[in-house]
Every structure is written in C-alpha cells, then in structure tokens.
Amino acid sequence: MKNKEIVYVVSDSVGETAELMVKAVSSQFNKSDVEIQHISYVEDTQDLNNVIAVAKYTHSIIAYTIVIPSLKQYLDERTREEGIIAVDLMNPLMQAFMQKFDAAPERQPGLMRKLDDNYFRRVEAIEFAVKYDDGQDIRGIKRADIVLIGVSRTSKTPLSMYLANKKFKVANVPLVPEIPPPDELFDIPKSNCIGLVITPDKLNEIREERLKHLGLTTQANYAKLDRILEELDYSEKIMKRIGCPIINVSNKAVEETADLILAMLKKRRVMYHE
C-alpha cells in the first residue's frame, strides 16, 4: 500500500492559512492522499529543527507562514542545506504589499486570529442585542455591558444594534406605567444603565409618524400628548430611583447618542482603574 505524502504546515501562529492553501493546491492535483501535519505556535529554532528532521526523513514538503524574521531566515537556510522543499506562503504577497503601500508589516504572529476574534465578538454582541431587545428576556439585564431604558420610540433598539456593532452586549427595557420595572434594573451597577428621555412634542411627532406608517389613526392613545406626558413622568421617576445617567435623545442622531454612551463608559473605566 502506497504511503501518504506528508506536508508539514509550520506556523508561528495557528497555521490555518497555510492549511487552507495546501488543501487548495493538493485538490488541483487530485491528491486525496496528502496528509497535513500541523506544527503550530513555533517559538524557537529547536521547534524548527524538530520539523526539519522529520521532513528530511519522510522526504516531505514544508509549507509555512512564519512572520518572525529570525525564524523565517533560519528555516530558509536550514531547509536549503538539507535539500528540503520549503515554501513561504506569505512572503510574496507581503513583499507586494510593502512595495505598493510603502510600509513595513507588523511581523507579529496571530494578527488574523485577533481580527477573527473581533468579528466573532461583534456577532455575539449583535445576537445578544436581538435576544434581549425590548425587554423580551430580563435575564439579559445582568449579563449586559449596557442596559438602555426609556419609553417607546426613544431609539433603544437602533442604539442597541449600533453599540452591538462596537462589540458591546446591550439589553434594552421599555418603561410602561402599567408594568412594574424588572427588579434586576435595581441590582446592576447604576452606571451600567442608561436612561433615554425625549421632549413630549418630539415623541408625539415620532409616534404619530409611526402610526401613519402602520396605517393606524393618529388619534390612538399611543400618540396622545397626555399619555406621552404620563409615560415620560413615570420613566424619569424610575431613572432617578435607579440613579443612572440620563441622555435626552430629542434632536440627536443614533450615532451621536452612542458616542455619548461610549464616552460615559470610557470615563467609568478610567475612574475604576484610578
């Protein structure tokens, strides 16, 4: 039985990039019998000596993504001395970038993994915002980085999604006079909670537009000024009871309100570390 051909994938990080490229190339040769052996997180020349020894013994190829210059140089020199085929999968494109952008690379392992981590944290935050939107599940209050509270149509949902794209886990809770606020709001640090308020006339305008969009009469109680005043008065009492920061969103874009919230968070961190 014919032994499988071995390609050693060597990296000073995980080595996922090299593995994908090796698989792509082997598929072009209909090579289903290629075995990929991982040597990840290479840190020193001893790690390289080990893979060089086994690659020479098995007459194998080394495909690598090593960005630390001293390790790359050592691997290039030693494989050349031993007559081993070693392919740098990143350097040609790295050189092209250096030429095009007239800049030097970071030469730091694992940067792509950091980018991936940022991506997955953002996705997780967005999923969190959807799950704990509009008080659907009060369990999110204690798990959230930020809890937004306010009456209906104070931009709680768009703010939650905007902040989620900044990788913050956000829950939002509507305040309605007929429904007692969740006890959890009073158990979390008050700086984790942000109250959103709005002027009565602006809220009246927004709610009337909302009713028109839904094909409903603007005379509904939802948009009546006395009902709005009742809701706003109730919500501000709850916010004062919690002792949370309050932002008036009347004439602010979502981005502007989000910047104010992020500034509050930054200030909170500075105070915490002092």
User: Is 110 assigned to a binding site?
Assistant: no
Q: Which of 178, 196, 182, 180 is nearest to 239 (CA)?
A: 196
DSSP H/E element including 221:
none
Indicate the burial class of 256 (C-beta count within 10 angstroms; 0-12, 13-18, 19 or more): exposed
Q: Which of 242, 227, 164, 165 is nearest to 196 (CA)?
A: 242
User: Is 79 assigned to a binding site?
Assistant: no
Question: H helices of the chain, where?
Answer: 16-28, 45-58, 69-82, 91-101, 111-131, 140-143, 156-164, 200-213, 225-242, 254-273
Cα radius of gyration rounded to whole Å, the chain: 29
User: Is 114 assigned to a binding site?
Assistant: no
User: Is 65 assigned to a binding site?
Assistant: no
Q: Which two tokens stand for residue 221?
A: 């109680």
User: Is 153 assigned to a binding site?
Assistant: yes
According to DSSP, the residues that pair with 7 across neighbouring strands are: 36, 61
User: Is 155 assigned to a binding site?
Assistant: yes
Between CA 97 and CA 93 the distance in angstroms is 6
User: Is 32 assigned to a binding site?
Assistant: no
User: Is 224 assigned to a binding site?
Assistant: no
Binding residues for ADP: 150-157
Binding residues: 150-157
